[in-house]
Amino acid sequence: MITINSESETIAISDRWQRIKDVEWKVSLFNNSADSHGISINYPSQITNEENQVEVCLSGSKTGRISRSLLLREEQQGNSIVQMGVWLKAIISEK
């Protein structure tokens, strides 16, 4: 569960992935889809300002460590666009 405080009427949500290696943590380098890592992820693609929490559920079919960035993008206000990121590491292991 992720809590968000924003005055924007809508917030768009997306995700980006990268295998954890000796890679710099920049969102521009996180360019893989969840599917390419055997990850199933569910979250709403957009929320309104009446909602202040986002539930994110994920599961994986391949073992390993994966970095993820969940991106939250507010509506454009004039010439400004605010985009926030939540950095997560997923460790998928066998039971």
16 close to 4: Cβ distance less than 8 angstroms: no
| pLDDT averaged over every residue in the chain | 78
3 state DSSP class of 95: coil
Position 34: which residue type?
A
Residues 46, 48: Cα–Cα separation, whole Å:
7
Environment class of residue 81 by beta-carbon count within 10 Å: exposed (0-12), middle (13-18) or buried (19+)?
Answer: exposed
Question: Mean of the pLDDT values across residues 68-82?
Answer: 80
pLDDT over 70 (residue 36): no
Residue 91 has pLDDT above 70, yes or no: yes
Domain boundaries defined on the chain: 2-92
With residue 10 as reference, give the H or E element that holds it: strand 10-19
